């Protein structure tokens, strides 16, 4: 049985859903899975009833030398003690700590350390940062990349970024799209919608334009609010929903008030069952400035919603402009306003876009396919491990 260590940083949103899908559906008759996770999260409760073992680390979201070194040491001991075959990391921070721990525990010799597989979920080079910091991150990632056996990029755009900024050979990178289970996004019967809207404080008679996303800088919420302000001057009978928590929620709420949107924009925080929200939206909006491959867009596709999103990251790999949704430039409130107006006023066409998006979600972005492709990579690594064990065994017999 292959011993697999999954390493994650503090996370929420799409990355967390991705990891949970893997933990739930990887074949546990083939893989003994240990999850190394931040010590302030409730993974024991989330994974209750599964065979996944949880090990907690003092791991923070940002670089924190003292706690990062403590986490590396603990992971290094775990890798040695539990004879870990594969360290699978998620995101830059977990990739740094997990791979360094593996190198510390086994050295640079590939025969004495575990295999490394790093999943890249989002862009790090599109964030505002100095040229020096961007260069330093690229150099550190490039160094670790030389000792990483494989990468998973969740979009073709991220694959190109790995090759451009970190010099990773194309042969090392597999593109595996995020996946969803369309059954998690059933369609509400229309008579049930007014009651569901009222429970969220919405007017049941007015159309809803909403974003379901973390309140984080890359999501572009300030441009959504700018568009909401413009659209409210053009269409009086419309309301807006923001579902999600995060570091910018308070700032976005303050901006909404400053724009005179009190009573127009409803901030409801994190919703544990987003599948219940999408049917309430007449238009789903994701105004991101940068993205990997957003699960929120996939979920809206599965729910057959009219979608308005930006040409950012892997979004154009999900949405075909004017066939399964509308795409506009990132960072442009006026373009978002025009897209909202078109989808709200051309209702028959918007419904047609939603149906086409639902079909694309079912055909191209399934959770089952994502897990299968990941297991194929695990299988390749398992074959290499068995081959190396055979070579070492033959060498011992030859010396005997």
Question: Residue ranges of the alpha helices (H) in 259-366?
Answer: 295-302, 315-318, 333-345, 347-364
**Element at 172 (helix H, strand E):** none
Average pLDDT on 35-43 reads 86
Please state which of the ranges 53-57, 138-142, 218-222, 325-329 shows the lowest mean pLDDT: 138-142
**Does residue 107 sit in helix, strand or coil?**
coil
φ, ψ of residue 30 to 5 degrees: the values are -105, -30
Q: What is the pLDDT of residue 58?
A: 84
Please state which of the ranges 133-142, 225-234, 275-284 shows the lowest mean pLDDT: 133-142
More confident: 131 or 97: 97
Nearest alpha carbon to residue 291 among 371, 185, 220: 220
In this structure, are residues 252 and 221 in contact, taking their beta carbons and an 8 Å threshold? Answer: yes
- Say yes or no to pLDDT of 312 above 80: yes
Q: What is the pLDDT of residue 380?
A: 93
Q: What percent of the chain has pLDDT over 70?
A: 94
The pLDDT-based confidence of 309 (bands split at 50, 70, 90) is very high
Structure-block tokens of residue 400: 């005997």
CA distance linking residue 216 with residue 221, whole number of Å: 8
Q: For tokens 């009219």, what's the residue?
A: 306
Q: What is the pLDDT of residue 148?
A: 94
CA distance linking residue 142 with residue 92, whole number of Å: 12
In this structure, are residues 7 and 89 in contact, taking their beta carbons and an 8 Å threshold? Answer: yes
Average pLDDT on 195-217 reads 94
In this structure, are residues 76 and 91 in contact, taking their beta carbons and an 8 Å threshold? Answer: no
φ, ψ of residue 150 to 5 degrees: the values are -165, 155
**Residue 298 — left, alpha, or beta (φ > 0 → left; ψ -120 to 50 → alpha)?**
alpha
Nearest alpha carbon to residue 30 among 9, 4, 6, 8: 4
CA distance linking residue 92 with residue 16, whole number of Å: 14
- Say yes or no to pLDDT of 247 above 90: yes
C-alpha distance from residue 121 to each of 30, 154, 243, 267 (Å): 25, 6, 21, 26
**Element at 308 (helix H, strand E):** strand 307-310
Q: What is the pLDDT of residue 131?
A: 79
187-192 long-range Cβ contacts below 8 angstroms, 24+ apart: 187/279, 187/303, 187/304, 188/276, 188/279, 188/280
φ, ψ of residue 146 to 5 degrees: the values are -65, -25
pTM of the predicted protein model: 0.84
- Say yes or no to pLDDT of 352 above 90: yes
């Amino acid at each position: 049985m292959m011993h697999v260590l999954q390493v994650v940083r503090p996370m929420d949103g799409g990355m967390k859903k991705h990891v949970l899908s893997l933990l739930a559906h990887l074949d546990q008759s083939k893989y003994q899975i240990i999850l190394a996770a931040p010590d302030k999260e409730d993974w024991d409760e989330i994974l209750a009833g599964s065979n996944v073992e949880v090990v907690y680390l003092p791991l923070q979201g940002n670089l924190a030398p003292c706690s990062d070194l403590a986490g590396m040491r603990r992971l290094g001991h775990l890798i040695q003690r539990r004879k870990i075959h594969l360290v699978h990391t998620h995101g830059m921070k977990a990739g740094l700590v997990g791979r360094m721990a593996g190198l510390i525990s086994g050295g640079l010799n590939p025969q004495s350390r575990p295999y490394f597989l790093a999943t890249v979920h989002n862009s790090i080079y599109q964030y505002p940062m100095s040229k020096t910091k961007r260069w330093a991150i690229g150099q550190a990632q490039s160094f670790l990349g030389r000792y990483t056996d494989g990468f998973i990029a969740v979009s073709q755009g991220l694959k190109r970024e790995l090759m451009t900024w970190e010099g990773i050979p194309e042969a090392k990178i597999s593109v595996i799209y995020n996946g969803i289970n369309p059954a998690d996004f059933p369609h509400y019967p229309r008579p049930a919608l007014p009651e569901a809207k009222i429970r969220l404080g919405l007017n049941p008679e007015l159309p809803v334009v909403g974003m379901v996303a973390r309140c984080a800088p890359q999501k572009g919420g300030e441009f959504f609010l700018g568009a909401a302000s413009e659209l409210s001057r053009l269409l009086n009978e419309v309301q807006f929903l923001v579902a999600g928590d995060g570091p910018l929620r308070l700032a976005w709420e303050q901006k909404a008030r400053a724009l005179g949107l009190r009573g127009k924009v409803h901030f409801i925080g994190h919703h544990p069952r987003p599948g219940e929200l999408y049917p309430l939206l007449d238009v789903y909006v994701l105004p991101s400035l940068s993205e990997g491959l957003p699960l929120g867009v996939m979920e809206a596709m599965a729910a057959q919603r009219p979608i308005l999103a930006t040409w950012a990251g892997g979004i154009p790999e999900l949405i075909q402009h004017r066939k399964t949704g509308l795409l506009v430039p990132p960072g442009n409130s006026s373009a978002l306003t025009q897209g909202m107006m078109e989808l709200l006023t051309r209702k028959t066409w918007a419904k047609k876009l939603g149906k086409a998006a639902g079909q694309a979600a079912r055909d191209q972005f399934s959770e089952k396919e994502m897990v299968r492709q990941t297991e194929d990579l695990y299988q390749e690594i398992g074959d290499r491990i068995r081959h190396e064990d055979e070579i070492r065994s033959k060498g011992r017999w030859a010396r005997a």
